[in-house]
Structure 1
């Protein structure tokens, strides 16, 4: 497999695998840690989801700047190493139980990811510019993408075992160690990189960095501060006067206003021949925001579904194996508390201060009465974050099948255009939400637990949508972007992903406000169907633009 590819590929593959091992291990336990009353920060569902959404939004916002800095000033090797070390340090610091340290750790991960993520992908592409490797580029990226998902798949088993055996701190440390291994592997491959890691420098056609700072970054910072400080109308339901639900959401949305205005101005100021391609890209950016908004619920609302609404009890041989590998934990049932409270903690006032006290494991809240254990008995439950390995597991299984499917269509000259693939990706993703609506119905709106196979089916369907859409997005940006603003338009793709990630946090924060959980998923279905219909309506125009550019 490796022989026909650049010698750098195995090092970049393994480096990215370990980097994603650390990132997805951290993401898999992040909201669970925030909500843990005893060893975490006892956050509510709304608080944890809001912080999670802001975090993953900023993680996808910084690659735009990190890519520009590497291209023009630092070069790829320096940027990747510095970014990786920052992320590794951030993961280690997350395990320190202090809210200030948590925010510092998140900042390190956000900035570090900005330097690591875009540049290792760009570096890989640099090797496929050579004539002997040009026809292997798609295959190389497929191998690389597989590395991402191998890391994302195996990490949750380590995270679960370490959290159960030693606690949250050690699980976060494992994420940090994984990241540091990735950096070491990357450095070991140095002799195979040649001059491909060197900076390109500032090109004559590049937008000056000071303009980017003055017209994008500074206005965003100013608007973000305004969004944080400004307050709307206070009501009983919104005593703090938040405009969009929380300080961080207000700040993020306000910060996006000048950025969106800037990208709109690119269209209006563009040359006549560039207007339609830029317009097509901006349309795609707007549509995929809704995809990411629903897709990224995997780390928040769907993690909550796995934790509270999925039957995680194991017995027999499975119990023996999982207990032996420390992938399951024993939970004791106490009858006198399970019927008193409807949450994993009770909020009460002690000497005028609000305190949260642990009352019982939330797991037993919706176990059918005939399936409840005896008073004082314990059951084995597989670790919640293992559900985060379902999606990357499906990616590993389905990627070769989807690639083979499109190869078959290409051989028959029936391969759909890139915008058509994105449209069908949105439709398939919308269908995945129907699986969760059926799951809610089977569990009588959360009053009974349902099988984990509902989550497996949901992730299976949306993974097909992901494979139709996500790789196509980066491809269409590189194909349609005018050469003088390719980096800026790639930044636009990351911006749309970032806004979608924040939307997912906003959606997840509303989970507890829906008495009927089907309504929550119907909202998600509606958002994706709106995006699907919009994409199909625009498809004729988008395909026309692609044909005008002489691309498929």
Structure 2
């Protein structure tokens, strides 16, 4: 997906948004409401799955619920690849974002239906819609600026605030409605949020000018028909597989989760194999991609732990923390708002720190710092779990401290990784590398969902300590191999 605007793609002149094109406000609010719906639903998903039927939940075991959660997150990021392709070759970013928002809203409305099947059907729709919206709205933000505009980075920073603002507000609303009143009412609140996002996107389209109006590299004629035929064939194969699972009695939650996990890993391996064996990329580009493989593995390992905040740590918050304040027991999902508010506070500080350090700290070293901090957060969780042995409730400040350490790790790895992705990309694959970066999260979440199954069978302190120390050791190994990885990066810092 190209983030460079085509000629004439600038929005019309007129009123501004904090000194930026007025269109940024439209995209800012669309993303804010999309993240509101995503994080609002995610904050209560595992709690709903594991709640007893008497309490309005599905009564699913913790191991299965954690795996479903991880796989759902993985699919959201995996679908960024075909979603970007659809925008680039068929619909254009603007229509992709619109249809993505409509499908996401439909998914949340389906989840609001108080039946057992609705949650899974709704998640499938949300995955498809997010794949269309998430990568392409970022492309449209890039379309608002000239390639070398000094305001471009500032515009993305404002847009990034929208992401975290939505993620901060959402659990406070959906968590209260879901946990205190009715789970499906919480899912319905997420649906209303996405509806607001779609409505203001449609009303604000006059601000967008030609940004994202046309596909960057459209398929025409026979090529278009061939692509649609292949897409139809793939869809047919998937339907046949699902039908086969139904007829054989293998269509279970665990079967689907395991199948999607395998698909995520295989797609990733195939993608890297395709790039590394491409004879059209230069030797230097191939070396840099080999370095990127290591960074990708580090990032996947990071997200494997980090994204358990909504599953294993969320269950810990519900069952093992004392959330009573002045006679009011606040919802466990409210703690899901800690990460985004800390990111809002910490992102400017991290940007200032990396600017001051310059090239004295390399990209692999920053990744290593992220892994070590992530691991230390789980070591601290092991102490919290040990304090809760015997049924004692611990202070929620344990989790706040854990999330603070994880956010410091995220700010060391996530924005740095995004920057490294653009710098290490072969010219031929430059527009696809953002999708490849999303795959790191997909792989981490998919495998993390399977790993999280162990949390139900192991003691919690052993679980957190094992994977916390593993992340720390991987971070130490990353430091040891920094010199070799920097050599493969061929002059890229």
Q: TM-score, normalised to structure 2's length?
A: 0.86
Please say if residues 228 and 251 of structure 1, whose CA atoms lie closer than 8 Å, have aligned partners that are also in contact: no
Q: CA deviation at 1:213?
A: 9.6
CA deviations 1:57-100 (Å, max 9, x no partner) are 11111011101111121011100010011111111111213233
Q: Does the alignment pair 1:507 with 2:455?
A: no
Please say if residues 287 and 489 of structure 2, whose CA atoms lie closer than 8 Å, have aligned partners that are also in contact: no
SS at match of 2:20: coil
Q: CA deviation at 1:259?
A: 4.2
Q: Does the alignment pair 1:479 with 2:423?
A: yes
More helix by share: 2
Give the 3 Å change call, closer, same or farther, for CA 276–420 of structure 1 in structure 2: same
Q: CA deviation at 1:161?
A: 3.0
Q: CA deviation at 1:531?
A: 3.2
1:523 is aligned, of 455, 459, 466, to 466
Structure whose CA Rg is larger: 1
Write the distance in 2 (CA, Å) between the matches of 1:415 and 1:223.
Answer: 49
Higher RCO (CA-CA < 8 Å; seq separation 6+): 2
Q: Does the alignment pair 1:19 with 2:34?
A: yes
Give the 3 Å change call, closer, same or farther, for CA 304–211 of structure 1 in structure 2: farther
The worse-fitting range, judged by mean Cα deviation, of 417-426 and 385-394 is 417-426
CA deviations 1:153-208 (Å, max 9, x no partner) are 1111111332356412221111011111112222233223222213344389xxx8
Give the 3 Å change call, closer, same or farther, for CA 546–254 of structure 1 in structure 2: closer
- 2:6 is aligned to none
1:196-207 → structure 2 map (5 Å cutoff): 196-202=211-217
CA deviations 1:273-299 (Å, max 9, x no partner) are 321122122221122111111001011
Write the distance in 2 (CA, Å) between the matches of 1:228 and 1:196.
Answer: 41
1:321-336 → structure 2 map (5 Å cutoff): none
SS at match of 2:461: helix
Give the 3 Å change call, closer, same or farther, for CA 190–222 of structure 1 in structure 2: closer
The worse-fitting range, judged by mean Cα deviation, of 383-392 and 516-525 is 516-525
Please say if residues 302 and 370 of structure 2, whose CA atoms lie closer than 8 Å, have aligned partners that are also in contact: no
Please say if residues 226 and 254 of structure 1, whose CA atoms lie closer than 8 Å, have aligned partners that are also in contact: no
Give the 3 Å change call, closer, same or farther, for CA 3–250 of structure 1 in structure 2: closer
Write the distance in 2 (CA, Å) between the matches of 1:380 and 1:108.
Answer: 36
Q: CA deviation at 1:250?
A: 4.3
Q: TM-score, normalised to structure 1's length?
A: 0.77
CA deviations 1:266-325 (Å, max 9, x no partner) are 21334323211221222211221111110010110000110111111222xxxxxxxxxx
Give the 3 Å change call, closer, same or farther, for CA 251–195 of structure 1 in structure 2: closer
Write the distance in 2 (CA, Å) between the matches of 1:447 and 1:485.
Answer: 53
SS at match of 1:269: coil
Please say if residues 224 and 255 of structure 1, whose CA atoms lie closer than 8 Å, have aligned partners that are also in contact: no
Across the aligned residues of Structure 1 and Structure 2, the Cα RMSD in angstroms comes to 3.1
Give the 3 Å change call, closer, same or farther, for CA 260–164 of structure 1 in structure 2: closer
Write the distance in 2 (CA, Å) between the matches of 1:250 and 1:512.
Answer: 21
Write the distance in 2 (CA, Å) between the matches of 1:201 and 1:545.
Answer: 32
Q: Does the alignment pair 1:538 with 2:486?
A: no
Write the distance in 1 (CA, Å) between the matches of 2:243 and 2:273.
Answer: 24
- 1:429 is aligned to 374
SS at match of 1:60: helix
Gaps of 5+ in 2: 1-15
Gaps of 5+ in 1: 231-239, 316-378
Please say if residues 425 and 466 of structure 1, whose CA atoms lie closer than 8 Å, have aligned partners that are also in contact: yes
